[in-house]
Chains A and B, each alone.
Chain A
Amino acid sequence: MNMHKLAGVAAAIGLSAALAAPAAYAQGAKAPKAEAQAQFFPVLAYRTGAYAPNGAPWANGFIDYMKLTNARGGINGVKLLWEECETGYATDRGVECYERLKGKHGGATAVQPLSTGITFALTEKAPGDKIPVITAGYGRSESQNGAVFGWNFPLIGTYWMGADVLVQHIAKKEGGFDKLKGKKIALVYHDSPYGKEPIALLQERAKMHGFSVQLLPVAHPGVEQKATWLQIRQNKPDYVFLWGWGVMNSTSIKEAQATGYPREKMYGVWWSGAEPDVKDVGEGAKGYNALAMQHGAEPNAKVIKDVLSMVHAKGQGTGPKEEVGQVLYMRGLISAMLQVEGVRAAQGRYGKGKWINGEQMRWGLENINLDQKALDDLGFAGVMRPVQTSCLDHMGSAWARIHTWDGKKWNFTSDWYQGDEKVLRPMVMLASGRYAEEKKIKPRTPEDCKK
């Protein structure tokens, strides 16, 4: 009955010995000693669990781009180094992975959690560790305000912006915002911080234009949706917005098919519009629309050809070759590209070919300026629009379009839309101001930003 602490302490001592052992099994390029130290990037991936079909292609694209960068000669000669850690989309495991990897190889340059739950947890830790958290297309929307969220970078898309674009799109389809009055929009969402993010914006827009929003939460992992779709059948909403992830997406589309809800009136967020979501449903998903976070499936982009010729042709590709260029693969690729460009921007200030630490990386990410020419040089012509970030705007670009599944592949079916700053900015300022008050953060001034 006694020996209270012995269990814990003995285990801790044993573990510390085991863990302190040089666990240097980093995959990828091992930089020669003579060159500058390699930039280290933790890869928080999930290749197991309910969200693996969507997590794996993202991680493959993410790693392939880093391999491509190394094959292209690194960032002004500085090579990249990375190590994967399996989170299974679970917040506590994600935090453990982050803690495990953040100090390796001189310290992580930036971290991309690919989970809104893990993002929330890391948001608390990043300022202390001075490691930027890049959440390209996810995370908390108010973190666009870099004055309060100094270390969060929801680059090229937040959920509020995405929801705003969806409302703009249906307004255009209906023939103007005034036609939205009296319309019913149902939001089928993953019952987690991720799924709840768009609610605030939709309610704001609903007040402005007089449409109603019906909230239909779906519990993790999202395979049980019979009741949800029964409600949709009863209420007959004019549009259904889908905010799902993993197996929940294909389940929703199958249920829509079963209840006979027209797929043409369904709009998914950019995490609900990839090949794994629709390919099992195939023809049944025909007409289903989703946001494209700038890019869609891009098998013909130059960067993809480079990946195939410089990485996969040499037998070093990550994951199956057929998936190269698919939607989520592209998302991972672009996420990696943005962090590489952050390092490049930081090198522009702190010395070309030098190793960049977390604080310098933040400056780099706040000063990304990818114009069309830079994108063309990188092989992203036609894939995305220019991105320019600043200290106060950590998003950098608010453009998106819609793509539609034709039964075999995704095709763009709309023009470019831009998230409406007049709607988004006040919401971002209000929410981030509240966060600053709660956490007693003093917002950064423009002078602080120059440091």
Chain B
Amino acid sequence: MFYRENGQFKTTYQSDQQIFPIPQDRWIILGIVAFAFLGIPLLVDEYLFRAILIPFLILSLAALGVNILVGYCGQITLGAGAFMAVGAYAAYNFLIRVSGMPALGAILLGGLTAAAVGIVFGIPSLRVRGLYLAVATLAAQFFCDWAFLRVKWFTNDSSSGSVSVADINLLGWTIDSPTDKYLFCLGILVVFSLAAKNLVRGSIGRQWMAIRDMDVAATVIGIRPMYAKLSAFAVSSFYVGVAGALWGFVHLGSWEPAAFSIDRSFQLLFMVIIGGMGSIVGSFFGAAFIVILPIFLNQMLPLVGDLFALEVSIALVSHVEIMIFGALIVFFLIVEPHGIARLWSTGREKLRLWPFPH
């Protein structure tokens, strides 16, 4: 109906190769981004900002980073939580040890540090792959957990190992209200996703995908595996590190190594698998699924109980929440092993052929 391409002709290579070749897509996306920037701050309340939207944006960024490595380059990682921790603690140290360091600078430097650490822990990927690599990246997780718990220098000799930062200041804009924090995270996320989309469409992204699909063949056609794999580790860790710094600086304000435990690594990997490997938009679906669904279930179940006049205890709610959540994961993986992103693109293909989809 509205999603019809009749009469749209592409006369230049440029118009054929842009990110959204169909004008409707382009307008919808622009509309959504504009709505996210202008409409949402007017509509939602503090709870939605602080408990749902901000964690969702930050974990989307982290999932995007993991997706670059796992989905595009095919290197399974279980160390994402560790790189988040590196980003957060490095940013913290840059902020307190370098006088006059702006917070945004510290966050980006935290990301760069995470990238450097990512390269180091990516070296085993040159020799081992698949599940063995996952185990090797697990070492990053345990090493970072250990380092931030034990090496007092990283936490500025804090007696409990927990660190905290003051409000962020960006060129005179003090980011303290939930709306400011949301806009700050959204801004970073938009810039980073645009960059990611262009990276994976470009030469380097094609190298990653070639390595993912068959690394021997990729080597034969002249792709250097070391360069491709390590650059994927670096870019991925950079994204994850920035997300970690945001998680600490913007979302928590005060954190401990437990905020970036192995659970976080698994959570991020699941986001990518459920959302869709090798898909930018899949990262957002995955993050939404993992972040929002449990909270949604947790709040809906008592209401459902009320409907049937049942008194539901909170222990029961949280048990049922875990069960439904687990069942949904299994359901999605069986129905669509390629993730929610594939469901989405199938839907769109059908919409293009509407009213005669096949």
List, sorted by A's number, 8 A–B pairs whose CB atoms are closer than 8 Å. A2-B281, A9-B40, A11-B288, A86-B315, A103-B46, A120-B160, A121-B253, A438-B96
Q: A15-B52, A431-B159 are in contact. List 17 more A-B contacts (CB 8 A).
A: A1-B279, A4-B33, A5-B29, A5-B33, A9-B40, A12-B52, A18-B296, A19-B299, A21-B303, A91-B256, A91-B258, A99-B46, A100-B299, A121-B252, A140-B160, A192-B256, A199-B159
* A48 lies within 8 A of B176 (CB): no
Q: A6 to chain B: which residues have CB within 8 Å?
A: 28-29, 32, 281
* A9 lies within 8 A of B314 (CB): no
B354 within 8 A of A: no
Q: A7 to chain B: which residues have CB within 8 Å?
A: 281, 284-285, 288, 344
Known pairs A16-B48, A18-B299, A84-B314; A4 contacts B166 (CB<8 A): no
Q: B159 to chain A: which residues have CB within 8 Å?
A: 196-197, 199-200, 431
Minimum Cβ distance to chain B for residue A222 (Å): 13
Q: Could you say which of A4, A23, A199 has the most chain B C-beta atoms within 10 Å of its C-beta? A: A4
A47 within 8 A of B: yes
B203 within 8 A of A: no
* B40 lies within 8 A of A12 (CB): yes
Minimum Cβ distance to chain B for residue A115 (Å): 11
* A193 lies within 8 A of B161 (CB): yes
* B160 lies within 8 A of A86 (CB): no
* A15 lies within 8 A of B292 (CB): yes
Minimum Cβ distance to chain B for residue A148 (Å): 12
CA distance A1 to B292 in the complex (A): 22
Q: A85 to chain B: which residues have CB within 8 Å?
A: 314
Closest 3 CB pairs of A and B: A124-B253, A47-B315, A193-B160
* A91 lies within 8 A of B259 (CB): yes
One digit per residue, 1 when the CB lies within 8 angstroms of any chain A CB and 0 when it does not, for chain B 253-268 equals 1111011010000000
CA distance A131 to B252 in the complex (A): 17
Q: B57 to chain A: which residues have CB within 8 Å?
A: 8
* B44 lies within 8 A of A12 (CB): yes
Minimum Cβ distance to chain A for residue B96 (Å): 7
Q: A120 to chain B: which residues have CB within 8 Å?
A: 160, 162, 164, 254-256
Interface positions of B from 213 to 256, Cβ below 8 Å from A: 252-256
A386 within 8 A of B: no
B333 within 8 A of A: no
Please, how many residues of chain B have a CB less than 8 angstroms from a CB on the other chain? 70
A318 and chain B: residue at smallest CB distance? B313
CA distance A411 to B20 in the complex (A): 73
One digit per residue, 1 when the CB lies within 8 angstroms of any chain B CB and 0 when it does not, for chain A 79-90 equals 000001110100
CA distance A445 to B39 in the complex (A): 43
CA distance A147 to B48 in the complex (A): 32
* A9 lies within 8 A of B55 (CB): no
Q: B314 to chain A: which residues have CB within 8 Å?
A: 45, 47, 84-86
One digit per residue, 1 when the CB lies within 8 angstroms of any chain B CB and 0 when it does not, for chain A 192-229 equals 11101101100000000000000001001000000000
B128 within 8 A of A: no
* A128 lies within 8 A of B176 (CB): yes
* A1 lies within 8 A of B33 (CB): no
One digit per residue, 1 when the CB lies within 8 angstroms of any chain A CB and 0 when it does not, for chain B 1-45 equals 000000000000000000110000100110011011000100111
Kindly identify which residue among B35, B279, B285, B298 contacts A9, using a CB–CB cutoff of 8 Å: B35
B96 and chain A: residue at smallest CB distance? A438
Q: B46 to chain A: which residues have CB within 8 Å?
A: 99, 103
Q: A47 to chain B: which residues have CB within 8 Å?
A: 313-315, 318
Q: A92 to chain B: which residues have CB within 8 Å?
A: 55, 259
Known pairs A15-B292, A86-B298, A103-B46; A48 contacts B35 (CB<8 A): no
* A48 lies within 8 A of B319 (CB): yes
Main secondary structure of the interface of B (DSSP, over half): helix
* B32 lies within 8 A of A123 (CB): no
* A15 lies within 8 A of B48 (CB): yes
Minimum Cβ distance to chain B for residue A140 (Å): 7
* B318 lies within 8 A of A88 (CB): yes
Residues in chain A within 8 A of chain B (CB atoms): 1-9, 11-13, 15-16, 18-21, 23, 25, 45, 47-48, 52, 56, 84-86, 88, 91-92, 95-96, 99-100, 103, 116-117, 120-121, 123-125, 128, 140, 191-194, 196-197, 199-200, 217, 220, 431, 435, 438-440
Known pairs A18-B300, A128-B176, A431-B159; A439 contacts B164 (CB<8 A): yes
CA distance A169 to B237 in the complex (A): 50
* B32 lies within 8 A of A4 (CB): yes
* A117 lies within 8 A of B48 (CB): no
* B318 lies within 8 A of A48 (CB): yes
* B292 lies within 8 A of A196 (CB): no
CA distance A334 to B261 in the complex (A): 33
Q: B161 to chain A: which residues have CB within 8 Å?
A: 192-193, 196
Minimum Cβ distance to chain B for residue A405 (Å): 27
A124 and chain B: residue at smallest CB distance? B253
B264 and chain A: residue at smallest CB distance? A92
CA distance A13 to B43 in the complex (A): 9
CA distance A124 to B250 in the complex (A): 11
Minimum Cβ distance to chain A for residue B49 (Å): 9
* A197 lies within 8 A of B160 (CB): yes
Minimum Cβ distance to chain B for residue A204 (Å): 10
* B36 lies within 8 A of A3 (CB): no
One digit per residue, 1 when the CB lies within 8 angstroms of any chain A CB and 0 when it does not, for chain B 133-167 equals 00000000000000001000000000111101110
One digit per residue, 1 when the CB lies within 8 angstroms of any chain A CB and 0 when it does not, for chain B 266-305 equals 0000000000000111001101100010011011101100
Known pairs A1-B279, A3-B344, A124-B253; A12 contacts B48 (CB<8 A): yes
B336 within 8 A of A: no
* B160 lies within 8 A of A8 (CB): no
A193 and chain B: residue at smallest CB distance? B160
Known pairs A2-B281, A12-B44, A220-B258; A438 contacts B164 (CB<8 A): yes
Q: B53 to chain A: which residues have CB within 8 Å?
A: 8, 12
Q: A197 to chain B: which residues have CB within 8 Å?
A: 159-160
Kindly identify which residue among A25, A99, A103, A191 contacts B149, using a CB–CB cutoff of 8 Å: A191
B93 within 8 A of A: no
B89 within 8 A of A: no
* B256 lies within 8 A of A3 (CB): no
* A1 lies within 8 A of B345 (CB): yes
* A438 lies within 8 A of B258 (CB): no
CA distance A96 to B55 in the complex (A): 10
* A9 lies within 8 A of B36 (CB): yes
Q: A3 to chain B: which residues have CB within 8 Å?
A: 25, 28-29, 32, 281, 344, 348
